[in-house]
């Protein structure tokens, strides 16, 4: 799957397949939201692809060397969001810069991955419990600042990145079990810290029809949309839940519902297949990497995308609670699209750097 210069064509192909699906679905989803939304989405994809090529052409070690600075900047931006961010839907997650809305939590995911790759690469394997917990302590500030925005979904992604990278670095099952036990003990405290609407969403997962016009509305409309698509789908621009705006956030967190309604089960399979191939290529790069930093970096991006895609598709089809995370490379969002392509560029750089040794 590689060219002579070390480009992983499978990784590139899977990424392009996903954003192509995204552009097609967005044309329909955005038609009821804003006339220019699909064009802006295409612009973010183009910028992301250009950054992917640029980052992939560099040595990933240079990026890891700046991880401390990047992580520090991400914490500052997250703190600024809480102090002077833009409020939408009861949450403060965005900064307005030169007329653009920027979501620093997306940058925090990338900075966290770089920081952990640098720290964990120099440790012994199996990973001592002290080192695994130190790595967790390094990312807790970022996770907490995102959590209080409030953004439960993105804060859990930061922790998923830590878990995946610590496991690849050699964390023992005993340490993992201890972390799971601590999480269970802290769960009641975390429950009290959630906003009211977040608790309602989690409760609605158990029985969405208990509040069909409130907390359960979105998941009910989402499952109706996907179910009505059946095998072949209703057709492009023909989804009633989408075109009649019954489904909230159908251009962002719930765009997978649009794909299911308009392109049916086969459209959903195409998305899942593209993600599976993308993740397989990243896993291959991680396992083949000669550098511990490269292996951990690829594992971190793998954990990020795999967890986020799983949670998004799970909540859209009603298998997981609604926590508000976008579908990677498909949902609308400039910050997410650009950071993900930069992250994939770093994974591609791992492959190219090894090939050129």
> Angle, nearest 10°, between helix axes 104-121 and 292-316?
140
How high is the pLDDT of residue 356? Answer: 66
No. of H helices and E strands in the chain?
14, 3
- Give yes or no for a contact between 285 and 343, defined as CB atoms under 8 angstroms apart: no
pLDDT value at residue 107: 96
Nearest by Cα to 252 from 15, 4, 12, 44? 44
Q: What pLDDT is stored for residue 212 in this prediction?
A: 75
Contacts 24+ apart (CB under 8 A), 196-200: 197/90, 198/150, 198/152
pLDDT at 100: 78
Q: Is 181 helix (H, G, I), strand (E, B) or coil?
A: helix
Which residues lie below 8 Å from residue 311, measured CB to CB, with a gap of 6+?
A: 153, 156, 157, 320, 323, 325
On whether the CB atoms of residues 116 and 293 are closer than 8 A, the answer is no
- pLDDT of 20: 97
- What are the residues whose beta carbons fall under 8 Å from the beta carbon of 310, sequence distance 6 or more? none
pLDDT for res 355: 60
Name the strand (E) or helix (H) holding 88: strand 86-88
Q: Quick one: DSSP state of residue 128? A: P
pLDDT tens, N- to C-terminus, the chain (357 residues): 555 567 899 999 999 999 999 999 999 988 887 778 999 999 999 999 999 999 999 999 999 999 999 999 999 999 999 888 777 766 677 788 777 788 999 999 999 999 999 999 989 888 999 999 999 999 999 999 999 888 889 999 999 999 999 999 999 899 989 888 888 888 888 778 777 777 877 777 777 877 777 777 888 888 889 988 899 999 898 888 878 777 888 888 999 999 999 999 999 999 999 999 999 999 999 999 989 999 999 999 999 999 999 999 999 998 998 888 999 999 999 999 999 999 999 999 999 887 666
User: Based on the number of CB atoms within 10 Å of its own CB, is 188 exposed (0-12), middle (13-18) or buried (19 or more)?
Assistant: exposed
């Amino acid at each position: 799957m590689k060219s002579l210069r070390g480009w992983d064509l499978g990784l590139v192909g899977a990424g392009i397949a996903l954003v192509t699906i995204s552009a097609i679905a967005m044309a329909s989803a955005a038609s009821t939201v804003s006339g220019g939304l699909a064009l802006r989405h295409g612009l973010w994809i183009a910028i992301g692809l250009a950054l992917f090529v640029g980052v992939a052409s560099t040595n990933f070690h240079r990026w890891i060397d700046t991880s401390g600075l990047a992580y520090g900047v991400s914490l500052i931006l997250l703190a600024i969001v809480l102090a002077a961010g833009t409020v939408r839907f009861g949450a403060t997650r965005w900064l307005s810069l030169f007329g653009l809305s920027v979501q620093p939590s997306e940058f925090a995911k990338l900075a966290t991955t770089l920081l952990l790759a640098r720290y964990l690469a120099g440790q012994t394997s199996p990973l001592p419990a002290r080192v695994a917990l130190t790595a967790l302590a390094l990312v807790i500030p970022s996770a907490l600042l995102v959590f209080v925005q409030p953004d439960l979904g993105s804060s859990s992604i930061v922790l998923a990145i830590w878990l995946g990278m610590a496991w690849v670095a050699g964390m023992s099952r005993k340490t993992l079990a201890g972390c799971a036990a601590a999480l269970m003990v802290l769960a009641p405290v975390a429950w009290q810290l959630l906003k009211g609407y977040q608790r309602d969403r989690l409760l609605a997962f158990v029985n969405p029809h208990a509040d069909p016009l409130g907390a359960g509305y979105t998941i009910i409309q989402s499952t109706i949309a996907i179910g009505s698509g059946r095998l072949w789908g209703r057709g492009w621009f023909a989804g009633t839940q989408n075109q009649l705006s019954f489904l909230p956030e159908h251009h962002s967190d719930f765009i997978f519902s649009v794909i299911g309604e308009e392109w049916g089960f086969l459209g959903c399979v195409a998305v899942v297949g593209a993600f599976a191939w993308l993740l397989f290529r990243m896993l291959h790069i991680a396992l083949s990497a000669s550098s511990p930093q490269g292996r951990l970096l690829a594992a971190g991006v793998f954990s990020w995308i795999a967890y986020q895609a799983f949670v998004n598709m799970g909540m859209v089809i009603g298998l997981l609670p609604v926590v508000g995370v976008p579908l990677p490379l498909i949902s609308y969002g400039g910050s997410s699209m650009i950071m993900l392509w930069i992250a994939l560029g770093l994974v591609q750089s791992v492959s190219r750097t090894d090939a050129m040794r």
